[in-house]
Amino acid sequence: MVDAGGSWTSRPADDEEGLALARALNVPPLVGQLLVRRGVVEPDQAQRFLSPRLEHLPNPLSMAGLERASNRLAEAILRREPVALYGDYDVDGVTSSALLTDFLRHHGLEPRVYIPHRLREGYGLHRDGLETLAREGARLLVTLDCGITAVEEVRFANELGLDVIVVDHHRCPVDLPPAFRDAQSAATFV
């Protein structure tokens, strides 16, 4: 945190635990203290945090609904269905839109990308944008960095005939939007 004078201040932490971790890792004391504040307290855990490796990442399929969403996206690719990407206007949404566009182009699709205007539309899914994408023929809509709280908007997209996959890292609310529904289970994917 920065105070009004421009100086950095930090929350108190267990200095001894941070110093011990710093010594064990041979890193500056501040690094040890920051790790402890993040809940990383064991040297092996800290080493994995500081030097991540692909084999240490969790299995992506452990994310709820990812397999169904992947299957739906693969189906769209195989059937050459029109896909729309609805990305947030910030760096997460724009970068996600660019990466997924590149992936889909590599697989022969030309997705329609919709990024809402920051000042006119603001954050989140908007009915006008959803209507435009449906009118242009999209069958599958993938939201990127938005949509996790858009229960009514996703329901509206479903009414327009869009299957919706929500890709969003924000905290999930209690009531999830009625996103992509697997034909067999009718379970909601978010």
Burial of 119 (0-12, 13-18, 19+ CB in 10 A): exposed
pLDDT category, 144, cuts 50, 70, 90?
A: very high
Residue 113 has pLDDT above 90, yes or no: yes
Return the minimum-mean-pLDDT range out of 27-31, 65-69, 112-116, 128-132.
Answer: 65-69
**Residue 177: its pLDDT value, please?**
63
Query: Domains, the chain, ranges and CATH?
Result: 15-56 (no CATH), 60-167 (3.90.1640.30)
Write down the mean pLDDT value for the chain: 84
Tokens 């994917």, residue located:
189
Q: Alpha-carbon distance 65 to 59, whole Å? A: 13
pLDDT category, 119, cuts 50, 70, 90?
A: confident
- Evaluate whether 73 touches 85 at the Cβ level (below 8 Å): no
- Evaluate whether 116 touches 84 at the Cβ level (below 8 Å): no
Q: Long-range contacts made by residues 122-128, C-beta under 8 angstroms, separation at least 24? A: 123/88, 123/89, 124/88, 124/149, 124/150, 124/153, 125/86, 125/150, 125/153, 125/154, 125/157, 126/153, 127/153, 127/156
